Each structure stands twice: as C-alpha cells, then as structure tokens.
C-alpha cells in the first residue's frame, strides 16, 4: 500500500518530467512532501501560480511532452487560470494539479457557496479551458484519471488538463496493483479508432496543385512545432522551393536564414510578407487557425487570388474563418511526412520569376518602426542586432505588446532556436516565467526574454526564482516608459488621449530592481552602444538584465487597420503604387472606409 500523493508523483516521474512548478498551500502539502522525498524530481517554487502555469507551458513546449504545475485550493487554483487558458488556446499539453478541501467539507452539488476554507469549484471554472477536468473524490480512480488526463493532453490537438485532489484523497493509502486504468479501456480504444488517415487521393491532388502553381506560398502556423513537424517542413521546402511565411505562432517553424523564408504576416506583420501571401496563386496553410490578427477583419479578401489548402488536426478550425478549396484534417507532421513521400519524384515548377517579385517586395518595403535619429534606438534594428548575438538552440521568450511585434517582425531566428509566445491568450507577464520553464526543460541552452516595461511588472517577482536558480536568462526590456501598444492605439483612434498608458502609468528604476534581486544589469540609451552591451550581456553566465531605453513615441509599423486587406497596411501606399505592386486585383475602393 502506498500513499496516493506518492503514487501521483511517481506517475509524473514516469512521464520523464523532472520539474514541477508550484506555489505551496495547505491543500497541496501532501503532494509536495511526496516530491521532497525523491531526488529524481524537483519542485520549482515560484512566487505566483500564474507564473508556475506559464513556466509549465514553456517547459512542455520545449520538451515536446508535458508540463506540470500545482497550486493549492481557492486563490492558488484561480491564479493558474490565465496560464491554463494560454495552454488551451495555444494547444500545449500540461497537467495542472490543484489541492482541494477534504471531501467531507466539500459542498459537491449543494447550492451553498462554500463549506470549507478556500474551497472553490475549480473544475467548473476551468471546464471551458481544458480537455479534461475532474475532481478525484474516489482514491481508487486515481490511475484512471491520470492516464486519461495525460492521454487527452497529448493526443489530437494537445491542450491542458486539470485534476483536483482533495486533501483526504491525497493522503489515502492505495494498492497500485488494484487500480483500474484508462489505457486499453473500451473508452480509450474508441478514441484511438476515431483517428483518420490522410487520403492518397488528397496527396495526389496537392502534388498536382503544387506542380501547377506559379506563385505558391506556405503559411506555417504554430501547429508545425506543436506536431513536431519542423524538420518535415524544411524537407518540403527543399523539395519544392516554395516560399514560406509564418503566423506569429509559426515564427520558429523555420530558420530565418532559409532563402525561402519571407517573414511574419498579419496585422503587425511585415508589409513584404503580407504582399507575398496576398499575391500567391496557391496557399498551403499548415496548422494555423487564421485568426483576424492574421487575416485582417476581411477574411473574404485573404489570399483571394489563391487556391487555398488548409491542414489542421482540429476539424473545427477548417473552413471556420477562411473558406478553402481543400480542407485536410490531419496532424501537420504526419501530413508533411506523407506529402514529402508523395513528392519523391517531384519536379519543382520554375519559381524564379516569383522569387524576383517577392525579393523585390522585401527590398522595397523593409520593416522600420519610425525613422529615428541617433542616439535614439530604432527597435526593429535593435531586434536584428540582438538576434545576431543569440546562439543556436537558444529559446527566445516574447511578452506582449510592441516589444513582441518588433521581435516578430525583425528578430532573425537561427537553426534550432525556439520562440515562445502567448499567442491566443496574449498575456502580459508571460515572457519571464516562460524563460524559467524553457531553461529548465533544456538546461544546456539559455533563454532570451524580450519584454516591455509594463509586461515585466506583471510577473517581476520571478526575477527571484531565476536568480535563485542562477538560470541563463538574458532579459531585454524595451522600455518606452508607457504601455506602448495600447498607447499607439489611443494615438490612432482616441485623439492621443493616453489614459492609463501614459497618464496614470508608472515604472520604477528597473536597474535598481534587478540589483535588489542580485542580477547584474545594463542600460542601453544610445544606438552606438547597442552592439557592445548586447555582446557583453550575452557573454555572461547566469541571469542578466538589460534596460533598453526607447523614445516614448516608438511605434510598430506597418500596421493593418480595420477593413483593409492584409496587403494594404498603414502607413498606406499610394493607390497607384499598390496597384503596380499587386499581381491580382485590388479590393474595390468603395469597400475601404476612410
């Protein structure tokens, strides 16, 4: 007989998980005590459960298997919800475990608000954000729930799962040999049978479409990495030569020095990337959910001159926002492997003319935030410089805001580098805890954090965790002294009334904060000093904090505005210039409001 909490930890270790992110409370002391008694798994004690959840997300994205975070009942569990939602939207397999009050003080279905202290029905709260969420009130069902939860977290479109373990259940003694399991059960077998195979007819159709296309483009989304299909994507590109653009989540699907890479598309994408996609005659969309940040608010105008093929594991994403000619429900990596096989004897079409066109777009429309005079720092150029100093295999963690978009537009990812972003949730405060999770998942590589002065204040407490563990995390704060992304929006749409972004916003001396945590820090306040300080910071071991001082008016440019097709970004090109550049007809002017 063993204690149930020991069984849970043993189960987690068997998944080859050696780090559990947590913030303690009475309701998870049994579980954490079970970790204490082993040397093959560590508690990573953070200072806020939201950070623990973000760290677990990053950990899973880097190890490709699973992340685990724990929290106590009530406030601890609720603090994890944003991180759980982030895993849900971005398809990350994570197991969240919450402690719960004893079953004899839990309200179950009674219509009373609460019986026990810190009792909260977390399962109902997270149901819409998880693939599986259960209160384990019967100790003998623990193996079943763990197996089912982890199976669901990883299978199909991955996502988060949560098990809520009452304290008396955690301390129950169970016989591991007598527990019913999920794997191999009729329910499991039925789920496995629902799996669909990629049809040969579809593959043959796609091969013909690729051969016939003159202006083909691949749009790589987050699903390429989620499925583990990055190597197959490169193989497809080398077989066919087809240019690749990415969504924000797909940025690390392909090394950026690959000659076929043409940048990030979307509302804050590069103009040349959007023009490349807009002029395609065949668009192969891989694991991308085509949200309005990518397509603009006019999905009917998106890739309107192209035959569109959409591959996604989630059938609900197919034909959901953009209508396509061929919708394929498949795991992207499996699809790519099958397509590469289909293309073994493929003769690629002549794409020279197409490359001349899109290289022309890139030359004529480079991405620059705003013309700046030295010593001011131009953020897009800064990103290019920073990326030159980052090493292969490093993980780049982006926060949310202008800092994220400058990086998305201009950071040049090298082979093997990953870029972690809170995509669907878009949660400020993500980057720092993500770096914590990423570096623990792969100790040999460091992480680079790119964050705003607003975002760093959201989970700034994790500087202590990073310093305590002496993790190789280089933190770059793009400090414009305001909540820049929303300030830019207010400048465009609210007559420059900067409520709560400038007016009423504050930021302390961040170098003194870094100092208080014992983290060495630098200031970059002059473009001429950029190279030297970046090099110095990157050459140091352990954490380093770099405060990059920008002008408050720094902007993300170009930017797509409401009701325009993605090729028509602000600042707008003259209509005749746009007409000259486009190989397909413009969207009617009357469709474009002032």
Ligand X SMILES: Cc1ncc(C[n+]2csc(CCOP(=O)(O)OP(=O)(O)O)c2C)c(N)n1
Token pair 């799962």 is found at 161
Closest separation between CB of residue 463 and ligand X, Å? Answer: 16
401 binds ligand X (CB under 6 A): yes
Q: Is 90 in the site for ligand X (CB under 6 A)?
A: no
The minimum distance between CB 483 and ligand X, in angstroms, equals 4
Report in angstroms how near the CB of residue 367 gets to ligand X at its nearest: 16
80: contact with ligand X by CB under 6 A: no
Which pairs from 323-331 meet CB under 8 Å and 24+ separation? 324/285, 326/202, 326/205, 326/206, 326/209, 328/198, 328/202, 329/196, 330/196, 330/198, 331/227, 331/229
Nearer to ligand X, 553 or 578 (CB): 553
CB of 434 to ligand X, least distance (A): 14
C-alpha to C-alpha distance for 142 and 126, rounded to whole angstroms: 19
Angle between helices 142-154 and 186-193 (to 10 degrees): 10
Least distance between ligand X and beta carbon 473 (Å):
18
Contact between 400 and ligand X (CB under 6 A)? yes
- Identify any residues that bridge with 21 across adjacent strands, giving them in sequence order: 44, 69
- Cα-based distances in Å from 268 to 293, 300, 369, 566, 567: 8, 19, 11, 10, 11
* Helices assigned H by DSSP within 43-197: 49-63, 75-79, 81-90, 122-126, 142-154, 167-170, 186-193
Determine, following the binding rule CB under 6 A, whether residue 543 of this chain makes contact with ligand X. no
Give the residue with the Cβ less far from ligand X, 307 or 559: 559
* Residue 493: CA count within 13 A, CB half-sphere: 8
Task: Give the shortest CB-379-to-ligand X separation in angstroms.
Answer: 9
Question: Looking at beta carbons only, is 328 or 400 nearer to ligand X?
Answer: 400
Q: Which stretch in 33-41, 71-79, 206-214, 421-429 sits in contact with ligand X by CB under 6 A?
A: 421-429
Three-state DSSP at 263 gives: strand
| Closest approach of ligand X to the CB of residue 514, in Å | 17
- Strand, helix or coil for residue 47: coil
**Coil, helix or strand at residue 164:** strand
Residue 433 is a binding residue for ligand X (CB under 6 A)? no
Interface with ligand X by CB under 6 A: which range of 40-48, 426-434, 437-445, 558-566? 426-434
Told to check if 248 binds ligand X by CB under 6 A, we report no
**Cα–Cα dist 488/122, whole Å:** 37
**CB closer to ligand X, 6 vs 453:** 453
441-500 residues near ligand X, rule: CB under 6 A: 452-455, 478, 480, 483-486
Q: Of 402, 410, 417, 547, which lies in the binding site for ligand X, with binding defined by CB under 6 A?
A: 402
Based on the shown chain and the rule CB under 6 A, indicate whether residue 519 belongs to the binding site for ligand X: no
Give whichever of 250 and 484 is closer to ligand X, judged by the CB atom.
Answer: 484
Paired tokens of 554: 């720094």
Does 383 bind ligand X (CB under 6 A)? Our answer is no
Residue with the shortest CB distance to ligand X: 452
Is residue 111 a contact partner of residue 66, using CB atoms and an 8 Å limit?
no
Stretch that binds ligand X, among 260-268, 288-296, 427-435, 514-522 (CB under 6 A): 427-435
Tell me whether residue 279 or residue 404 sits nearer to ligand X (CB atom): 404
Which position among 71, 92, 264, 428 is part of the footprint of ligand X (CB under 6 A)? 428
Contact call for residue 514 and ligand X (CB under 6 A): no
Q: For residues 242 and 524, which CB has a smaller minimum distance to ligand X in the complex? A: 524
User: Toward ligand X, which CB reaches closer, 401 or 423?
Assistant: 401
Of how many residues is the chain composed?
Answer: 594
In the complex, least distance from residue 554 CB atom to ligand X, rounded to whole angstroms: 8
Quickly count: other Cβ atoms within 10 Å of residue 357's Cβ.
16
Q: Is 408 in the site for ligand X (CB under 6 A)?
A: no
With binding defined as CB under 6 A, does residue 20 bind ligand X?
no
| Shortest distance in whole angstroms from residue 553 CB to ligand X | 11
**Residue nearer to ligand X on the CB measure, 36 or 494:** 494
User: Residue 314, by phi and psi: left (phi above 0), alpha (psi -120 to 50) or beta?
Assistant: beta
158 vs 558 by CB, closer to ligand X: 558
Task: For strands 173-174 and 2-3, give the pairing.
Answer: antiparallel
Nearest CB to ligand X, comparing residues 5 and 51: 51
| List 305, 315, 426, 542, residue binding ligand X (CB under 6 A) | 426
For the sheet with 132-135, list strands across it.
42-45, 19-23, 67-71, 94-100, 160-166, 132-135
Max intra-chain CA distance, the chain: 79
Provide the 10 A C-beta neighbour count for residue 109. Answer: 4
Closest contact distance (angstroms) between CB of 541 and ligand X is 27
- The H or E element that residue 441 is part of is helix 431-441
Cβ partners under 8 Å of residue 457, min gap 6:
507
**Does 403 contact ligand X by CB under 6 A?**
yes
Residues 334-363 that bind ligand X (CB under 6 A): none
Based on the shown chain and the rule CB under 6 A, indicate whether residue 51 belongs to the binding site for ligand X. Answer: no
Size of interface with ligand X, in residues (CB under 6 A): 18
Nearer of residues 167 and 428 to ligand X, judged by Cβ:
428
Task: Judge contact between 449 and 548, C-beta under 8 A.
Answer: no
Cα 234 to the chain's mean position, in Å? 20
Site for ligand X, rule CB under 6 A = 400-403, 426-429, 452-455, 478, 480, 483-486
């Amino acid at each position: 007989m063993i204690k149930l909490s020991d069984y849970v930890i043993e189960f987690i270790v068997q998944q080859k998980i050696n780090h559990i992110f947590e913030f303690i409370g009475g309701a998870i002391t049994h579980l954490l005590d079970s970790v204490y008694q082993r040397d093959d798994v560590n508690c990573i004690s953070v200072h806020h459960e939201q950070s623990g959840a973000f760290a677990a997300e990053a950990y899973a994205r880097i190890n490709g298997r699973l992340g685990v975070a724990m929290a106590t009942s009530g406030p601890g569990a609720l603090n994890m919800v944003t991180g759980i939602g982030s895993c849900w939207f971005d398809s990350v397999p994570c197991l969240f475990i919450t402690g719960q009050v004893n079953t004899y003080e839990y309200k179950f279905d009674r219509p009373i608000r609460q019986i026990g202290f810190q009792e909260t029905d977390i399962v109902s709260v997270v149901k819409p954000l998880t693939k599986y969420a259960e209160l384990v009130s019967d100790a003998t069902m623990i193996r079943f729930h763990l197996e089912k939860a982890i199976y669901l977290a990883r299978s199909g479109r991955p996502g988060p799962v949560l098990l809520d373990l009452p304290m008396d259940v955690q301390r129950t003694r169970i016989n591991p040999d007598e527990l019913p399991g999920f794997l191999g059960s009729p329910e499991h077998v039925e789920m496995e049978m629902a799996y669909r195979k990629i049809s040969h007819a579809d593959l043959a159709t796609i091969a013909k479409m690729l051969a016939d296309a003159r202006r083909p483009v691949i749009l790589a989304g987050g699903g390429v990495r989620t499925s583990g299909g990055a190597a197959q994507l490169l193989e497809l590109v080398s077989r066919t030569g087809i240019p690749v653009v990415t969504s924000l989540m797909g940025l690390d699907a392909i090394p950026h020095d690959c000659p076929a890479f043409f940048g990030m598309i979307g509302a804050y994408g590069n103009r040349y990337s959007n023009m490349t996609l807009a002029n395609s005659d065949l668009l192969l969309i891989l694991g991308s959910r085509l949200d309005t940040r990518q397509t603009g608010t006019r999905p009917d105008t998106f890739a309107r001159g192209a035959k569109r093929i959409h591959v996604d594991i989630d059938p609900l994403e197919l034909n959901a926002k953009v209508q396509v000619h061929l919708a394929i429900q498949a795991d992207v990596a499996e699809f790519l492997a099958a397509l590469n096989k289909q293309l073994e004897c493929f003769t690629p079409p002549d794409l020279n003319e197409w490359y001349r066109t899109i290289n022309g777009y890139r030359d004529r429309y480079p991405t620059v935030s705003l013309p700046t005079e030295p010593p001011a720092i131009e953020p897009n150029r800064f990103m290019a410089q920073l990326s030159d100093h980052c090493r292969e295999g490093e993980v780049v963690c982006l926060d949310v805001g202008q800092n994220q978009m400058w990086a998305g537009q201009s950071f040049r990812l090298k082979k093997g580098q990953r870029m972690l972003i809170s995509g669907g949730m878009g949660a400020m405060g993500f980057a720092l805890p993500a770096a914590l999770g990423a570096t623990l998942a792969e100790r040999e590589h460091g992480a680079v954090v790119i964050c705003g002065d607003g975002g760093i204040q959201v989970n700034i407490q994790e500087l202590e965790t990073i310093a305590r563990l002496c993790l190789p995390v280089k933190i770059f704060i793009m400090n414009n002294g305001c909540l820049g992304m929303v300030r830019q929006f207010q400048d465009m749409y609210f007559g420059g009334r900067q409520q709560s972004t400038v007016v009423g916003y504050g930021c302390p001396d961040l170098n003194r904060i870094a100092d208080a945590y014992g983290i060495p820090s630098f200031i970059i306040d002059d473009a001429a000093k950029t190279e030297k300080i970046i090099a110095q910071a990157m050459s140091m071991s352990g954490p380093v904090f770099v405060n990059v001082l920008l002008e408050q008016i720094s902007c993300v440019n170009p930017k797509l505005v409401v009701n325009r097709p993605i090729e028509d970004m602000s600042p707008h090109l003259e209509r005749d210039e746009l007409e000259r550049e486009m190989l397909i007809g413009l969207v009617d002017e009357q469709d474009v409001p002032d």
